Amino acid sequence: MISSLARSAGEVARRAGGGGRPIKRDIVQSGAREARVARLALITLFFAAGVAHAAEPGWPFYGGDEGGQRYSAAAQITPANVSGLQQAWSYSTRDLVTKGDAIRHASFEVTPILDDGRLYLCSPFDEVSALDPGTGREIWRFDPRIDPRLRYPNSFVCRGVAWWRDPKPKNGFCATRIFLATNDRRLISLDAASGKPCDGFGRGGTVPIEPAPAMIYKSEVQITSAPVVTQGLVIVGSSIDDNQRVDAPRGTVHAYDARSGGLRWSFDPIPRDAVAPNAASWTSAGAARTGAANVWAPMSVDEEHGLVFAPTTSPSPDFYGGARPGDNRYADSVVALHVQNGRVAWSFQVTHHDLWDYDVPAQPTLGVVTWQDKTVPAVIQPTKQGLVFTLDRLTGEPLIPVEERRVPRGGAPGEQLSPTEPFPLAPKPLAPTRIKPDDAWGLTWYDRGQCRNKIAAARAQGLYSPPSLRGTILYPFTGGGTNWGGLAFDAAHDTVYVNTSSMMHLVKLIPKKDLAAAEQAFPDAEISPQSGTPFAMKREVVVSPLGLPCNPPPWGMLHAIDMHDGHVKWEVPLGTTEDLMPFSQYFLGKVGVPNLGGPIATAGGLVFIGAAMDDYLRAFDAKTGTELWRGRLPAGGQATPMTYVWKGRQYVVIAAGGHEKLNTKRGDSVIAFALPR
């Protein structure tokens, strides 16, 4: 079994790619907070009195709303009745039948959206379906016919689509549109009513996105996350294969006219001239050669202030930065861009001169946060390091203070490390960051001894220990902490819900003269050339002879954080080893498992999450973290669920198709749960 857990966790990291406490708080609560609660109460009374009619809660954006809060006002399902949830309908994308062996290389990560009376979703192969929200009946389906024979480094993935209503349509056709960004780098505009391509968009409804410089193989660049649409623009990022070369394709973000498909602006996080605002944190030679710093995770939008928030990745390659001295600003950052021109409003870097693949992996979440009696529009950003940064949304300055702390020194020859890295004062790190040989974990004395030897043989000085020829422990591993599932935010209770994984990587730099020998000696290992640098790299999960992680459990957690003061309200293990090896959960206990996908929170006082390596959707009490219900899925639920109310009935929907990197059970189903009628 357990080798399956370790192997799968290694794969995920390889490419990574309403409850809370009552609103009434202590007497020290701020006046601003009380005023906001009062306003919410007045709005509620206004609608309840029938002066206006509130629509049923929907899910119109990938993250629930434009700011990615993953919160729903739906309150029909509560801790008191959630045990009665049962499957209401299911829908099959038919990929198990039509895609053959390619399904093994797919990861079903989609979160459907609900808008204008229909559910819209995409399969890992970018097929878009429109469904009846009450029955799951297919209304239309569009297939862009991507090549299933290609092997993308991040699997075949489509996390979602975007919906847009044209405020000045020329006719009924394409008055509302669905935008799809494909694995093979096409932006497609579809008529939301019929699923047919919009002829006036690009050529036949399609705009090709060509990376620069040119790719060296067809799958080097793909698009995995949903585009965002705001102020008449469709904005798209990309995913780029890691660790292949210094001069990787550029991580350019593009904005296109939502009607015509014409390019309106582009943003490259790496400065290409000396007058760029971030040029001082690079050398001109380093910036000229370096690629990536792309935006593969979902973006978010502040429509009122005209800002789009881009979570950027590390410059190429990940584990050696001697060719790119400096902090490399705008990479590994939350970058706020002005929607209309793509210019930088502000940026905040979470990792200086990244050597650990500690990029920004999740959608920046926008919410109004009350921190120590100060209420501010904020950006909440979880990271792979298990850190959560909380920033002023309009300035990028930390709302919860951040301090620069000294980190380990002594990088590889030719490396120039940052002497410090940023750490928020709250909340505490949500994943362990330091391990000693005596901390090694194992089921038997032999297992534990072997783990102890592996840790003792490596460099393990804690978070930000630089990669080395000896081999360095990265803890957390590059799959997180937090990954693309992001977090859920209940603004009424100032509570964040976020899941994390906890395992270790061993990263070893290999002199170029030894690369061929290493590839021959370790044919099944991840070894990447990092062309243009003196070193290739080898990355592996640190596991025992039994295949268990060498670090102590839990290996997967769900956390609740009170944003008033940053304390962790509760945290519980997430998931079991049940579907990795039958009955193993009975002797391993509540160890949690690595996970991919995120949580959602509801006004009914529940947190729903799949994500774990067993085939369940779970519901937790938002106040206590108690698991109240689990619904069996036909395949792995490595996706973020969504919820909505349709004709008076609340549904909770999740994609259940499994994940290539976690090696969970494959499928092609979308499952909806609801209370009995």
pLDDT at 258: 98
Digit-coded pLDDT (tens) for 255-273: 999 999 999 999 999 999 9
Q: 630: burial class by Cβ within 10 Å (0-12, 13-18, 19+)?
A: middle
pLDDT at 581: 74
What is the distance between the alpha carbons of residues 282 and 288, in angstroms, rounded to a whole number?
A: 10
Cα of first residue to Cα of last residue in the chain, in angstroms, is 40
Question: Please, what is the average pLDDT of the chain?
Answer: 92
pLDDT at 23: 28
What is the distance between the alpha carbons of residues 317 and 461, in angstroms, rounded to a whole number?
A: 22
DSSP-assigned letter for residue 352? S
Digit-coded pLDDT (tens) for 169-196: 988 999 999 999 999 999 999 999 999 9
What is the distance between the alpha carbons of residues 391 and 457, in angstroms, rounded to a whole number?
A: 39
- Please give the model's pTM, rounded to 2 decimal places: 0.93
* DSSP 3-state of 572: strand
The answer for residues whose C-beta is within 8 angstroms of residue 524's C-beta and 6 or more apart is none
pLDDT at residue 634 greater than cutoff 80 = yes
Cα 306 off chain centre by: 23
Q: How confident is the model at residue 32 (pLDDT cuts 50, 70, 90)?
A: very low
pLDDT at residue 518 greater than cutoff 60 = yes
Q: How confident is the model at residue 459 (pLDDT cuts 50, 70, 90)?
A: very high
DSSP-assigned letter for residue 263? E
Give the dihedral of Cα atoms 321, 322, 326, 328; nearest 10 deg. -30
pLDDT at 35: 42
Q: How confident is the model at residue 44 (pLDDT cuts 50, 70, 90)?
A: very low
Q: Which of 29-38, 429-438, 557-566, 639-648 is least confident?
A: 29-38
What is the distance between the alpha carbons of residues 161 and 61, in angstroms, rounded to a whole number?
A: 8
Q: 41: burial class by Cβ within 10 Å (0-12, 13-18, 19+)?
A: exposed
Q: Check: CB of residue 274 under 8 Å from CB of residue 254.
A: no
pLDDT at residue 46 greater than cutoff 50 = no
pLDDT at 54: 58
SS (H, E, C) 500-536: EECCCEEEEEEEHHHHHHHHHHCCCCEEECCECCCEE
The answer for residues whose C-beta is within 8 angstroms of residue 502's C-beta and 6 or more apart is 386, 431, 432, 476, 551, 553, 554, 555, 556, 557, 592, 594
Mean pLDDT of 643-662: 97
Domains held by the chain: number: 1
Catalytic residue among 191, 327, 357, 621: 357
Mean pLDDT of 435-461: 96
- Cα-based distances in Å from 651 to 118, 134, 163: 13, 8, 20
Digit-coded pLDDT (tens) for 344-371: 999 999 999 999 999 999 999 999 999 9
Mean pLDDT of 415-441: 97
Q: How confident is the model at residue 33 (pLDDT cuts 50, 70, 90)?
A: very low
Closest alpha carbon to 379 in 482, 487, 278: 487
The dihedral through the CA atoms of 194, 137, 608, 501 has a sign that is: negative
Q: How confident is the model at residue 580 (pLDDT cuts 50, 70, 90)?
A: confident
> Strand pairing partners for 86?
674
Mean pLDDT of 11-16: 48
CATH, residue 567: 2.140.10.10
DSSP-assigned letter for residue 99? S
pLDDT at 5: 53
Q: Check: CB of residue 374 under 8 Å from CB of residue 343.
A: no
Angular region, 516: left φ>0, alpha ψ -120 to 50, beta rest = alpha
pLDDT at residue 27 greater than cutoff 80 = no
Q: How confident is the model at residue 7 (pLDDT cuts 50, 70, 90)?
A: low
Q: Is 242 a catalytic residue?
A: no
What is the distance between the alpha carbons of residues 264 and 233, in angstroms, rounded to a whole number?
A: 8
Q: 612: burial class by Cβ within 10 Å (0-12, 13-18, 19+)?
A: buried
Q: Check: CB of residue 269 under 8 Å from CB of residue 299.
A: no
pLDDT at 579: 84
Per-position DSSP letters for 286-343, written without gaps between them: HHHH--B----SPPEEETTTTEEEEE--PBSSSS--TTS-S--TTTTEEEEEETTT--
The two structure tokens encoding residue 656: 């259940």
pLDDT at residue 106 greater than cutoff 70 = yes
Closest alpha carbon to 468 in 356, 359, 544: 356
User: Scanning the structure block, which residue is given the tokens 């519980």?
Assistant: 572
Residue 60: give the domain boundaries: 2-674
Per-position DSSP letters for 150-216, written without gaps between them: ---TT-B-----EEEE-SS-SSSTTSEEEEEE-TTSEEEEEETTT--B-TTTTBTTEEE---SS--S
Q: Check: CB of residue 234 under 8 Å from CB of residue 227.
A: yes
The two structure tokens encoding residue 67: 């700011």
Taking residue 569's Cβ as centre, other Cβ atoms within 10 Å add up to: 20
User: Scanning the structure block, which residue is given the tokens 């395949």?
Assistant: 635
Mean pLDDT of 304-328: 98
Q: How confident is the model at residue 400 (pLDDT cuts 50, 70, 90)?
A: very high
pLDDT at residue 45 greater than cutoff 90 = no
Counting residues of the chain whose pLDDT is more than 90, the rounded percentage is: 88
The dihedral through the CA atoms of 95, 98, 102, 104 has a sign that is: positive
What is the distance between the alpha carbons of residues 265 and 75, in angstroms, rounded to a whole number?
A: 41
- Residue 84 phi/psi, 5-degree rounding, is -90, 0
Mean pLDDT of 506-520: 97
Taking residue 24's Cβ as centre, other Cβ atoms within 10 Å add up to: 8
User: Scanning the structure block, which residue is given the tokens 């928020």?
Assistant: 424
What is the distance between the alpha carbons of residues 373 and 399, in angstroms, rounded to a whole number?
A: 12
H/E element, 6: helix 2-15
